[in-house]
Amino acid sequence: MTPLWTSDAIAAATGGTAHGAFTVDNVAFDSREIIGGELFIAMRGDTTNGHRFIDSALQRGAAGILCETAIDAPHVRVTDSFAALEALGRAARARTGATIIGVTGSVGKTGVKEAIRLSLLQNTPAVHASVKSYNNHSGVPLSLARMPADSRFGVFEMGMNHAGEIAALTRQVRPHVALITWVAPVHIEFFDSEAGIAHAKAEIFEGLEPGGTAIIPADNPHIAILRAAAQTHAARTISFGATGDVRPLSVAMTADGTDITADIMGETLAFRVGMAGAHWVNNALAVLATVKAAGGDIAAAGLALADLNGLPGRGARLSVAVRGGHATLLDESYNANPASMAASLAVLGSIAAPRRLAILGQMGELGEGSAAYHAGLAAPIAAAKVDALALVGPAMEALKLPNATHLATAADALAWARETLRPGDVCLVKGSNAVGLGTLVKTLGEND
């Protein structure tokens, strides 16, 4: 099996000096991810120094170390480990002939990235993609550095909370196809307006390779901003949505999925999406537009969409033990913003159950409009016909509802869930990651 990197190739890419010959089959900067055979990159961060964990990484089976100090183990020594990580990512991008896809958006980017990966896997195993939500200044170069040279496709997620961040990431990724899933008031605390978020997301097109394709949401309120940026940097622009180049001809929604017939730039495809919710209609169209632009098989993509299951924290459904039987959790605990809250509540409302419950954590980075955004959840909660409601965090005090219990912490929400859930209940769990509702889901699931 061809190694991902040799010590000589790492040294050449980073400008470092190799001490001892070694090969690696993966790259990590978190020693807890080491399982054997990896390159461990020891980086200095704001709160810790990865050089402290070199011994732990070696004990766990790291094959080599990229570091700034001399050590008694196979390593490549550099002057700046983070700069070396970026250089390794650029070298990985330069050596591959893969078709590269970049994905960003205020909502849906991780799920859409995963759906694109699964769609392309239908026809070739040589698909590389970002894992988890490795989409920031360190996660993107790490994902690039992990890409095998013989990959046929690479799918990379890019995130931001300030202007200019996507521009820096997309110039590393250099996509052939760049997709924006949607623009919504996420991280709006750091922007003057939602239009500013649209401009920041549109930075993804600045890194497009010559002849590249931009894919944009036709029905977004900021389509004019997105289209102008796309036309500046892309050779071709494809829109998706009700008024897009890739659009639905018919949609039949159920509680556990959606049957769609779509026009994909003149080609008709009937398929099913295994994820519930109107937002997944738009997501599926984005996936098909991207696969089409990348030269993939859209019929195979349709099959992959049918097999979609929710990711942990992003739509997974769990059966959990309660007194007298089982209840169902809709795990949307990874993150939250006004748009994704409304979408998840709509999914909850579509499910037939004796009772619908929701545990909702506060949303972060909403700036001066935070109280209004939280109060605005009243309408989607009412539409979902939520029977019992737990609201977690001080920002949720702006949401005044008669059926709501206000709680301070995720631990309080766990106690509420254990006391309140009954057999047959369906309960949505959603909140910003900082609230920690993922721990609640994990604990209830482990107790099943």
pLDDT tens, position by position, for the chain (448 residues)? 799 999 999 999 999 999 999 999 999 999 999 999 999 999 998 888 999 999 999 999 999 999 999 999 999 999 999 999 999 999 999 999 999 999 999 988 999 999 999 999 999 999 999 987 789 999 999 999 999 999 999 999 999 989 999 999 999 999 999 999 999 888 888 888 999 999 999 999 999 999 999 999 999 999 999 999 999 999 999 999 999 999 999 999 887 889 999 999 999 999 999 988 889 999 999 999 999 999 999 999 999 999 988 778 888 899 999 989 999 999 999 889 999 999 999 999 999 999 999 999 999 989 889 999 999 999 999 999 999 999 999 999 999 999 899 999 999 999 999 999 999 999 999 999 999 999 999 999 876 5
Calpha distance 169→226 (Å, rounded): 18
Any alpha helices (H) in 242-399, and if so which ranges? 279-293, 298-306, 338-349, 370-375, 378-383
Cβ atoms of residues 78 and 7 within 8 Å: no
Closest Cα partner for 25 from 44, 42, 3, 58?
A: 3
What is the model's pTM? 0.88
Q: Which contiguous run of DSSP H or E holds residue 88?
A: helix 81-95
Domains of the chain: 5-80 (3.40.1390.10), 96-306 (3.40.1190.10), 316-446 (3.90.190.20)
